[in-house]
Amino acid sequence: MVTYRIATPDDYENINNFHNRIYKKNRTMEQFYWEFHNGPFGASIYVIAEDEGKVVGTNCVIPIDLITAENKIIRSGKSEDTLVDPDYRGQKIFYKIYDFLFEKCREANIEVIWGFTAAKKPFKNLEFEIPFDHQQSLAVNKIWKSYLYLAGLNPQNKFMDKLKIFGLCTLSKFKTLGKLGTNKSKFDIKVYDTLTEGVDELIFEGLQQSRENFAILQSANFQQWRIYDNPNYFKTHTYGIYEQEKLIALMVFNSHENGIAYLCQASFRGKLSDTEKANIIKSVTARLFKSGISAVRTWMFDTNPLNKEEAELFQTAGYVHLNRGIGFVWKELTQTGVNPKNFIVSRMATQGAI
């Protein structure tokens, strides 16, 4: 008989072994503790399904505080680590875990659960909203290396799929050639190993462009945990942009050994013009390319004016926009008073596994 309970640290190794066995990966215990136990807003609410002591299913929410433009804090939980043993499918374990998890989240004063998924139907069955999908953009520096990486993401790619990917890489390369050499930023760009001071103020200023906006509460502790203590990262690239010693913009990336970089987030002071913002993106991207990065990938959204502006700025800076991605899911356990489409989202809303 399958039973459900809250996991304790004594269960973590068995849980991690279960995931590594099913996914055929090698997530370390350091990575597990970082993601699910050591977060800045507290340890995850982690549910396991067991059959006579054997882990056969998991799901959890990671506590994440959200902040509105009016300075209201919303206690949220990010859904992660959803997995059911293939041998136990058909027993509705996925739904039973969530029912148990909803109860425990209410007890912990979690107001809303959200996350990202390509498997939309099960979440719709649990009455999650799916208000939007994420989008992407791409800037290519080295065509062949970028092609090999992108083509290898899906083992099912056929010849024509690979040809389209090669064409995309070539198009992106020529687009960046025409953009990155022009209109460099006039501001002072500094490179840091770590930058957390003043970041929360910068992000909150951008948030206040509309009273309906809300975002993750990016305290210095959150920044340190999410970016600089992240054991999934090979290397981080932090660019602080200054005018007269005042931080006016921030761009943070992580990169892998394969030379592919990912934008974690880009934040700008509201007083900057669109041209100034685009020139900052161009200058920082050019620096990444000069350091040997093969390509930069980003997440983009168009569900609110601030995210839509960001997507347009990256296109202006030479990035190729791709209107395809996975679904964002949202389920309120209480009345939060916010519209999920006004969530200012970036890759900071992921756990940084890539």
170 shares a domain with 293: yes
User: What are 315's strand-pairing partners?
Assistant: none
Q: Which residue has the tokens 């009345």?
A: 335
Q: d(Cα 51, Cα 156) in Å, to the nearest integer?
A: 35
274 shares a domain with 171: yes
Return the axis-axis angle of helices 12-23 and 29-36, rounded to nearest 10°. Answer: 110
84 shares a domain with 175: no
Short-list 187, 309, 306, 207, CA closest to 247: 187
**Which pLDDT score, from 0 to 100, does residue 180 have?**
80
**Which pLDDT score, from 0 to 100, does residue 186 have?**
86
Q: What token pair was written down for 39?
A: 């977060």
Q: Is residue 342 part of a domain?
A: no
Q: Is residue 247 part of a domain?
A: yes
Short-list 154, 84, 54, 80, CA closest to 352: 80
75 shares a domain with 200: no
**Which pLDDT score, from 0 to 100, does residue 270 have?**
83
CA geometry: angle 93, 111, 102, nearest 5 deg? 15
Return the axis-axis angle of helices 305-316 and 274-290, rounded to nearest 10°. Answer: 60
Number of domains the chain is built from: 2
Q: d(Cα 127, Cα 350) in Å, to the nearest integer?
A: 22
> CATH number for the domain including 49?
3.40.630.30
Mark which of 129, 161, 194 sits at the end of a domain. 129
Mark which of 129, 160, 189 sits at the end of a domain. 129
110 shares a domain with 149: no
pLDDT tens, the chain, 354 aa long: 999 999 999 999 999 999 999 999 999 999 999 999 999 999 999 999 999 999 999 999 999 999 999 999 999 999 999 999 999 999 999 999 999 999 999 999 999 999 999 999 999 999 999 999 999 999 999 999 999 999 999 989 999 999 999 999 999 999 998 788 666 778 999 999 999 999 999 999 989 989 999 999 999 999 999 999 999 999 999 999 999 999 999 999 999 999 999 999 999 998 899 999 999 999 999 999 999 999 999 999 999 999 999 999 999 999 999 988 999 999 999 999 999 999 999 999 987 665
90 shares a domain with 115: yes
3-class state of residue 81 by DSSP: strand
116 shares a domain with 87: yes
Q: Is residue 343 part of a domain?
A: no
Mark which of 100, 129, 158 sits at the end of a domain. 129
**Which pLDDT score, from 0 to 100, does residue 183 have?**
61
* Chain centre to alpha carbon of residue 157: 25
Q: Is residue 214 part of a domain?
A: yes
Q: Is residue 159 part of a domain?
A: yes
Assess contact for 169 and 151: CB atoms under 8 A: no
**Which pLDDT score, from 0 to 100, does residue 351 have?**
75
140 shares a domain with 177: yes
**Which pLDDT score, from 0 to 100, does residue 182 have?**
62
Domain that holds residue 33: 2-129
194 shares a domain with 313: yes
**Which pLDDT score, from 0 to 100, does residue 271 have?**
87
